[in-house]
Amino acid sequence: MIAVGQRSSARRSVKKFRDAGFARWSLAHAFFADMGGFVLEAEDLSLPIPVDAEQLFYLIEKKHVDYPALTKEEIEDKSKTDSVARFLTIGQAVWFVAAFISRPIQGLGVTTLELTTISFIVVFFATSYCWMHKPSEVFRPVILHCETSIAQIRSEAGHHDPNGYQRTPLDFVDPSPYVIGLLWRYYVHLLHSLGIPLMSRPMTSRPQTRIRGDNFLKTELDHELFAGFFIAAFSSAFMGAWNFHFPTDAERNLWRCGSGIGGCRRRRRSMS
């Protein structure tokens, strides 16, 4: 869902920029922005703050910053090695799927481990599609110089409290929360407070100086349907071993219960 949300956000950004006359803005630009590829410098900021694609559009629209002179080719040039790695990984996944399909054709059995691998390959294909235009990482962000102070930008938007934000002073640009994202941030913060930083390193600076890579962004309906299809395929893969031979009846029943309950929960989550 993280990858689907990021692609959905990137597509919205491309439409918004191009409707405003910025025809060169691409999915690569949008992904780059949402990864923290653009940072803003202002007179009342002690450190540059990252701006996502939505915030960047707002700043350009209000003429606080100029449209960044960064081409799609320059972004893609930074990810050439990543493209080779993706190609090799996808090739390995396709080879495994072909070998898996050939086993029943040859009258050979399939193991639960192979079914589990296939289920993760299904998710891998979906993620690879969503991140097709996403750079591998931001090595050196593009600095945007803003002549207007952050306090004035917030004041013009009706936000006069200098500390009334969670991540950066530009949070007001897209204030509508995504429920899944709020829940995710809550549990990640809870883990960090317990000294268990499982997902990403904690951020202690205020305002924050980077954009988290595990953000759940708002997802449009067609992307949610896309995610629902692959979630259903992922869950159904485990059902393929329903009538497999297991060493004991208890192991078979546990597999059936696990695959059945897991499938129902994932389908319900994808529909909510």
Q: Which residues of the chain have pLDDT under 50?
A: 267-272
The pLDDT of residue 212? 76
- Which residues make Cβ contacts (< 8 Å) with residue 137, sequence separation at least 6? 35
DSSP structural state of residue 172 = G
Determine contact, residues 145/65, Cβ cutoff 8 Å. yes
Question: What predicted TM-score, i.e. pTM, was given to this entire model?
Answer: 0.81
Sheet containing 142-145, strands listed edge to edge, beginning at the edge strand earlier in sequence: 49-50, 38-41, 142-145
CA–CA distance, 92 with 251 (Å, rounded to integer): 31
CA–CA distance, 208 with 148 (Å, rounded to integer): 20
CA–CA distance, 118 with 114 (Å, rounded to integer): 6
The pLDDT of residue 165? 81
Percent of the chain with pLDDT over 90: 28
pLDDT digits (tens, 9 = 90+) for 178-222: 667 667 777 777 777 777 766 666 667 778 888 877 777 788 888
- CA-wise closest residue to 39 among 179, 180, 150: 150
Both tokens assigned to 145: 């110089």
